[in-house]
Structure 1
């Protein structure tokens, strides 16, 4: 992670509140998380932004987490036209039809038990690794799973924030 200001971080720090909040919403759908990060601008470094993100994630209520999870499509079914979810879930792109069908079944069972999509930081994971994770996690209590989801969201947010602050667009 970068420790100095980048053009992307400078742009984020100086953009209008509405633009910065929109960018944060693309990272995480929790309005509480986005508001906390917005209120702490400007950030001296990406690491400072990441620490603020982690702190805000730790403070989210169950309702805030539900709002954040609502912004994520099920594993194996990225949002059409959304390059972010397609890129993050690329490990499922080449999966066999049998694995895709099994993931759909597991996703539905997970969602029925917990009331929300199965959320995992899918970046760099194979379809089999994601299947194995949902198989394991479906046995958790709702309380255990909420904290795992919080940690997974934190990982996803860091990846997405890194892309936000490292982008060098005009």
Structure 2
């Protein structure tokens, strides 16, 4: 769907497109209500600005729609399809790397209580594992800030891809 299609779609269809990028009610509502967007830059600027206001509770709730790094997203929806494309750097990983990612995911979840989220697009499995190991050293507040930034980065990348 291009920008003209997003602008002219009924509210429910537009919301479904935006929600596939980030499942945060306030974000979806703001971007749908802001239509018609004059251009992609205005939409992306509004998306970034609204995303920066996400609460910790919104960020944690939005993690439910993301699979663990190294696990294939389930389902047929747009968000699952985007996730499968984004994790291409792990799709070809050998068994050793997959095992280390699974172990890192487990340790991360035990430490923080939520899944490890990282922008996978453009990153190799080794790079994502290295970032995971670094982030295990964060305190909860610092890590939640990183997760917020990663979630917003993913949302904006997905929104650009939808409009392309």
TM class, shorter-length: over 0.9
Structure 2 residue 27 is the aligned partner of structure 1 residue 33: yes
- Out of 32, 41, 46, the position equivalent to 1:47 is 41
- Out of 133, 136, 140, the position equivalent to 1:135 is 133
Structure 2 residue 11 is the aligned partner of structure 1 residue 13: no
Q: In structure 2, list runs of 5 or more residues that go unmatched.
A: none
Deviation at 1:83, TM superposition (A): 2.5
Deviation at 1:74, TM superposition (A): 0.4
Q: In structure 1, list runs of 5 or more residues that go unmatched.
A: 1-6
1:96 corresponds in structure 2 to 94
After the TM superposition, list the runs of 4 or more consecutive aligned residues in structure 1 that deviate by more than 2 angstroms: 80-83
| CA distances 1:62-91 after superposition (whole Å, capped 9, x unpaired) | 111112111111000021353211110000
1:121 corresponds in structure 2 to 119
Aligned residues: 160
Give the TM-score normalised by structure 1: 0.90
SS at match of 2:2: helix
Counterparts of 1:165 and 1:133, CA distance in 2: 29
Counterparts of 1:16 and 1:67, CA distance in 2: 26
Give the TM-score normalised by structure 2: 0.93
| CA distances 1:100-150 after superposition (whole Å, capped 9, x unpaired) | 011001001111111111111100100000000000001101111111111
2:72 corresponds in structure 1 to 78
